[in-house]
Each structure stands twice: as structure tokens, then as C-alpha cells.
């Protein structure tokens, strides 16, 4: 039995489907079983990673856990939750992030580093998946595209090696069902470096409607796009995108090496999610 957390999300949901396709017994941890949309054949159990004591029914009889952590939000409970998981499961495959270092302490990367340390120290077998940027982040553009056919965003020339959630899940499924990735920290990317302008065009081709990119200056973005975020966070976002203009995110072939098939392109992802960008999805 494999327990999947984040089971209603994109990566977790894809992992559920792929495990079912392999004929693996799979259980989904969800906060509200009555509202959870999961594939037929999945056992659904109520639970919350921020409530370690309440996880025991979900962990009963579980061999492995695909762990998608509510980053930062549940960090206060992480030591007790990982300890509880380690009492039941022999293996944890954790969805971490590229850029995590052992000494990271702040922000999202610090949260991932803490989880990695806790899991490694717990005594379970582990694999830490470290994907780069998710193609699904482009879903944040969907309201603009549906309404106006435009993407107003920063640094259109920034090039990213965005990865499809199905490819992250495919590597996770291998780590859960085979032994070759125990103790590994694979860095996962998409198969190409694609600019944000090109991303908008790819979405347009997928939906059969021209989508244009309008670059927003940093100072305007601070007021119009990132007004609700703390200034240091905004500084980091802007600096990272500016850096990717001169130094595009690197690309590797790890997905193909680990799954036997090339990673899906951003254009593939756009086709898979075309409905999210269509006017009918509004």
C-alpha cells in the first residue's frame, strides 16, 4: 500500500493515476473525503499533515509514502509528522525542489531542506525529487488569457526549463515501486529552455487563439502584480527572472534517463491544459 499526500494536487493526482495504472494499491490522504476528486479505485482517508496524531488511520498498513508537503504552512508540525510516518512506512519519496542545500534555512528552500533532514534522520529509505520550475505555474496567467488573450508579466525573455507534473510523478512512481533511486536526489527539468514569450505563444497554439505577451516593468509589477507579497519576496522573484534572461535555467535529461521516455515539452503541457485557458473554463 502506498499513501499519496497532496493527492488532489497536480503532481500527487498524477502519481495516483500512474500507480493505479501499475496495479499498485494506493491510498489518498485528503482533508475532506466527500469533496476529494480522485480516480476510481483509490482508497480515500481523512487526514492533515499538520495533525500528526490524526495520521495513524491513513498510515495503517502503508509501505511507502509519496510526500507532497504543504510547504511552510505546516512546518511547525514537521518533526512530529515525519516521526509518525517513520513508525509505519519503510520508504518516503519527498517532493522537494531544485536549489535546496543542506544549510538552507529561510523561505521555501529552507522549508524543503528541513524536511529533507528530518526524513533522512528518521531512518526510512528515502528519495528526494528536486524539480525545477513547474509548467503548471503558467496557470496563473489563465484569467488574463481567457479574458483578453494576453499575458502581462515580467521579463518575457527569461528562459525556463519548465517540467510537466506528469514527468515529476513518473519519476516518483519509479522511486516508490523500484529500489534504484533509494538515497538519490535527482534534479528534474523539462527538455528545453523556453522564454516566457514563447510560453504564451505555445498556449495560444494549444487553444487556437493568439496570445500576446506584454512585459511589465519591475516597478509596475511591484504595485500591480506582487502588491500582496512582502518586499523581500518580491525582490527575489524579480531578481530571479532577471537572472534567467542572461543565464537561462539549465536543462538535463534526467527524466528520460529515469523513465525511459523524453520529458514532455511545454507545448505538450499546454495542449494537456488547453481547457484551463479557454473561455469555457472561466
Same domain assignment for residues 16 and 127: yes
Residue 219 lies in a domain: yes
Residue 211, domain extent: 137-159+191-249+264-281
For the cut 70, the answer to whether the pLDDT of residue 34 exceeds it is: yes
Same domain assignment for residues 103 and 146: no
Same domain assignment for residues 231 and 109: no
Same domain assignment for residues 214 and 121: no
Please give the Cα distance from 171 to 247 (Å, whole number): 27
Residue 104 lies in a domain: yes
Question: What's the confidence (pLDDT) of residue 180?
Answer: 96
Q: Are 46 and 31 in contact (CB under 8 A)?
A: yes
Residue 115 lies in a domain: yes
Q: Which three cell numbers stand for residue 235?
A: 525582490
Which CATH number is 97's domain given?
3.40.50.720
Question: What's the confidence (pLDDT) of residue 282?
Answer: 52
Choose one of 131, 148, 183: the last residue of a domain: 131
Cα angle 100, 202, 251; round to 5: 30
pLDDT in tens, 75-132: 999 999 999 999 999 999 999 999 999 888 888 889 999 999 999 999 999 999 999 9
**Separation in Å, CA 182 to CA 58, 61, 132, 185, 230:** 23, 21, 20, 9, 38
110 burial class (0-12, 13-18, 19+ CB within 10 angstroms)? middle
> Under DSSP, is residue 127 helix (H, G, I), strand (E, B) or coil?
strand
Which CATH number is 220's domain given?
3.90.25.10
Taking alpha carbons only, the member of 26, 127, 120 closest to residue 82 is 120
Same domain assignment for residues 106 and 148: no
H or E, element range at 204: helix 196-207
First to last CA, the chain: 38
Question: What's the confidence (pLDDT) of residue 179?
Answer: 97
Same domain assignment for residues 94 and 230: no
Question: What's the confidence (pLDDT) of residue 36?
Answer: 85
Query: What confidence tier does 66 reach under pLDDT thresholds 50, 70, 90?
Result: very high
Please give the Cα distance from 249 to 161 (Å, whole number): 6
Q: Are 98 and 254 in contact (CB under 8 A)?
A: no
Same domain assignment for residues 110 and 57: yes
Same domain assignment for residues 6 and 116: yes
Same domain assignment for residues 122 and 141: no
pLDDT in tens, 197-246: 999 999 999 999 999 999 999 999 999 999 998 888 899 899 999 999 99
Residue 170 lies in a domain: no
pLDDT in tens, 247-265: 999 999 999 999 999 999 9
**Separation in Å, CA 65 to CA 5, 78, 121, 140, 263:** 8, 15, 16, 29, 24
Q: Which three cell numbers stand for residue 238?
A: 524579480
What phi and psi, each to the nearest 5 degrees, are found at residue 156?
Answer: -60, -25
Cell 536543462 belongs to which residue? 251
Taking alpha carbons only, the member of 72, 68, 67 closest to residue 105 is 72
Question: What is the domain count for the chain?
Answer: 2
> Under DSSP, is residue 10 helix (H, G, I), strand (E, B) or coil?
helix
Same domain assignment for residues 153 and 118: no
Same domain assignment for residues 56 and 7: yes
Amino acid at each position: 500500500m502506498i499513501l499519496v499526500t497532496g493527492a488532489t494536487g497536480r503532481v500527487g493526482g498524477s502519481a495516483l493515476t500512474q500507480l493505479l495504472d501499475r496495479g499498485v494499491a494506493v491510498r489518498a490522504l485528503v482533508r475532506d473525503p466527500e469533496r476529494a476528486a480522485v480516480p476510481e479505485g483509490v482508497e480515500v482517508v481523512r487526514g492533515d499533515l499538520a495533525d500528526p496524531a490524526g495520521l495513524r488511520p491513513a498510515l495503517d498498513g502503508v509501505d511507502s509514502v509519496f510526500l507532497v508537503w504543504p510547504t511552510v504552512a505546516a512546518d511547525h508540525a514537521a518533526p512530529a509528522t515525519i516521526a509518525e510516518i517513520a513508525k509505519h512506512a519503510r520508504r518516503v519519496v519527498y517532493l522537494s525542489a531544485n536549489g535546496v542545500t543542506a544549510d538552507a534555512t529561510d523561505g521555501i528552500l529552507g522549508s524543503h531542506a528541513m524536511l529533507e533532514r528530518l526524513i533522512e534522520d528518521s531512518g526510512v529509505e528515502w528519495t528526494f525529487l528536486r524539480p525545477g520550475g513547474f509548467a503548471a505555474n503558467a496557470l496563473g496567467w489563465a484569467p488574463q488569457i481567457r479574458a483578453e488573450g494576453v499575458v502581462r508579466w515580467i521579463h518575457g525573455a527569461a528562459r525556463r526549463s519548465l517540467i510537466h507534473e506528469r514527468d515529476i510523478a513518473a519519476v516518483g512512481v519509479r522511486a516508490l515501486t523500484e529500489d534504484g533511486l533509494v538515497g538519490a536526489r535527482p534534479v528534474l527539468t523539462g527538455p528545453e529552455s523556453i522564454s516566457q514569450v514563447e510560453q504564451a505563444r505555445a498556449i495560444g497554439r494549444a487553444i487556437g487563439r493568439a496570445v500576446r505577451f506584454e512585459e511589465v516593468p519591475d516597478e509596475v509589477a511591484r504595485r500591480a502584480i506582487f502588491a500582496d507579497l512582502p518586499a523581500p519576496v518580491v525582490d527575489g522573484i524579480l531578481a530571479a527572472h532577471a537572472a534567467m534572461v542572461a543565464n537561462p535555467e539549465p536543462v538535463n535529461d534526467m527524466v528520460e534517463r529515469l523513465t525511459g521516455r523524453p520529458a514532455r515539452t511545454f507545448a505538450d503541457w499546454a495542449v494537456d491544459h488547453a481547457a484551463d485557458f479557454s473561455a469555457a473554463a472561466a
